[in-house]
Amino acid sequence: MSTAVVTGERPPQAASPWEDAVLAAALMTVDPIGTGGVALRALAGPVRDQWLSIMRDLQPEDAPQRRIPLHVSDGRLLGGLDLAATLSAGRPVAERGLLVEANGGVIELAMAERIAPGTVARLTSAFDFGEVVLERDGLAMRNPSRFALVALDEGVGEDEGLLNALSDRLAFHLELTHIRVHEAIACDYDAADLLDARTRLPSVTITDEQIEALCGTALVLGIPSLRASIFACRAACAAAALAERSEVTDADLSVAGRLVLAPRATQLPPMEPPPDAEPPPPEPEEPDQNQNQNNEQQEPQELEDQILEATKAAIPAGLLAQLQMGKLRRSRSRATGKAGAVQNAQTRGRPAGVLHGEPRAGLRLNVVETLRAAAPWQRLRREERARSGQPSTRIEVRQDDFRITRFKHKSETTTIFVVDASGSSALHRLAEAKGAVELLLADCYVRRDKVALVAFRGQGADVLLPPTRSLVRAKRSLAGLPGGGGTPLASGIDLGMILADSVKRRGGTPVLILMTDGRANVARDGSGGRTRANDEALAAARVVRSLEITALVIDTSPRPQQQGRDLAREMGAVYLPLPHADANSLTQAVRATSG
């Protein structure tokens, strides 16, 4: 395989992040539809501006370039009825949406980390089918919409980022955060080169062995989505076209590995691959096609190792460290907002579109939208009135036209405290927990949140305080909370979870806060025995995670124990050892969790 890399390329590992970023812009331009586009993670700044201006300059002259703002309306995004033109022309005139206008070009998506799932779904359906299907305002149309997307992700930290549905459809994931301004300079390509590469692209061939190597690499790196493997193939072909070749070479494969596979890696390849890990599938029907290509003879396994090498070099250092610590990224949808899940409401909150309906029971009439809805029908209605001999009013608005504003507001948060009142959690801890609940309650009064309290001791668990905002009731039931006895941890978690589930069903957002030392010694049926009690507690914790309830485990033992940590991990909860928990620090921790 040493003969393979004699194409005069620089060794794949040597490319700087900036060079790779520019290369991604070029490859996206060579095959905009095949690669989907770029997820660009960077804060606004000179480096991002430089990359964007290079990317824009690389586009063919006649290619449209559009920018989609964060809160784009459906009418603007997909198209709809152009009311002004419709009224003046006296017949329906359609307005083209951004997605249709951008056909054959590039769309920049601003602040993509905050974009709503609904907007993403509209984008991705245009992506998947290459057209926008419009069924709006009395119009039914299909318009071609093929474009590449540059999603500008300004997220900070692990939790903020593109929705998976979007990032999955973009071949290249770039991070410009660590590139210095003076590194971000020029680009070696010009638009004419890329146009040539585009015409060359359809004739570029990729062998089965190369496809196998890319797929194998994706598997080894723990990349579940098949789109990644498909993108890797497209990127390799585009790289070959860009380098004026008609066959994909090793250099192209490592480009695909670096730009497409590396940023998606969720696990590190095993250090010593077991010999029988990837038996090459037997393909007796395909004897060696005698192509004079010097990498044809390579075994897929060898090729795969080679891609893996290049890919590994491109995996960001932070990720490596995280993966080694066993902190595998869980494939969980990233919420675009914070805290309390957003809910539809009719009377308060942020306006979120309009709805056909009557303004009653406190619903607010949207005058502008109502007039818009009435406008096209004016002629018809006037004639109708004239026929029936009634005098015509200036504007004929009818019940059908009424539009009401729909609002969204954050749903109410209910904080559920599950407190270990057993003998092992010394009594003064209980006093601290009580203090924290009282403090929180005062805070909740301001935030319009609710609090509930579950205590477990002896044989089982009780709801001491159902969800409430009443300070007086809370104080009274807390004061009567006794301590001592065994630790039926599983029963406590069960009860807290059932409470959380019922809050969820009513449309609220539960936050579960478990205060315990994690030393379970009473099973669900009330019998003793540490092992069984502990197993049951861990099982109960897993259910909490499966219901995706936000949780916080506060370890109240004098010295933080492994048990508490295990419990938090199984629960998918934040773990907070507070050997000397006091009411104030508890409150702060809770506020941080529930946002």
Stretch of 42-50, 162-170, 436-444, 525-533 contacting another protein, by CB under 8 A = 162-170
Stretch of 226-234, 254-262, 433-441, 468-476 contacting another protein, by CB under 8 A = 226-234
Shortest Å, Cβ 185 to another protein: 35
Phi and psi (nearest 5°) for 350?
-85, 135
Contacts of 272 (CB under 8 A, 6+ apart): none
305 is a contact residue toward another protein (CB under 8 A)? no
135 is a contact residue toward another protein (CB under 8 A)? yes
Phi and psi (nearest 5°) for 478?
-70, -40
Shortest Å, Cβ 258 to another protein: 19
140 is a contact residue toward another protein (CB under 8 A)? yes
Residue 440 CB-half CA count within 13 A = 32
Determine contact, residues 172/232, Cβ cutoff 8 Å: no
122-136: burial string, b at 16+ Cβ within 10 Å, e else: bbbebbeeebbebeb
CA-based torsion, 564, 565, 570, 576: positive or negative? positive
224 is a contact residue toward another protein (CB under 8 A)? yes
Q: Residues 84, 85, 133, 442: which binds another protein (CB under 8 A)?
A: 133
Determine contact, residues 343/411, Cβ cutoff 8 Å: yes
Shortest Å, Cβ 353 to another protein: 8
Please list every residue from 321 through 340 that binds another protein, using CB under 8 A.
331-333
Count of residues that bind another protein according to CB under 8 A:
75
Q: Residues 57, 190, 208, 582: which binds another protein (CB under 8 A)?
A: 208
Please list every residue from 504 through 533 that binds another protein, using CB under 8 A.
none
493 is a contact residue toward another protein (CB under 8 A)? no
Determine contact, residues 286/208, Cβ cutoff 8 Å: yes
Please list every residue from 413 through 472 that binds another protein, using CB under 8 A.
none
Comparing CB distances to another protein, the nearer of 232 and 436 is 232
Shortest Å, Cβ 66 to another protein: 17
497 is a contact residue toward another protein (CB under 8 A)? yes
What does the longest C-alpha to C-alpha distance in the chain come to?
Answer: 93
Shortest Å, Cβ 195 to another protein: 19
Comparing CB distances to another protein, the nearer of 218 and 259 is 218
Stretch of 1-9, 125-133, 267-275, 582-590 contacting another protein, by CB under 8 A = 125-133
Which amino acid makes up residue 196? D
Please list every residue from 12 through 71 that binds another protein, using CB under 8 A.
34
311-345: burial string, b at 16+ Cβ within 10 Å, e else: bbbbbeeebeeebeeeeeeeeeeeebeebbebeeb
227 is a contact residue toward another protein (CB under 8 A)? yes
86 is a contact residue toward another protein (CB under 8 A)? yes
Determine contact, residues 234/34, Cβ cutoff 8 Å: yes
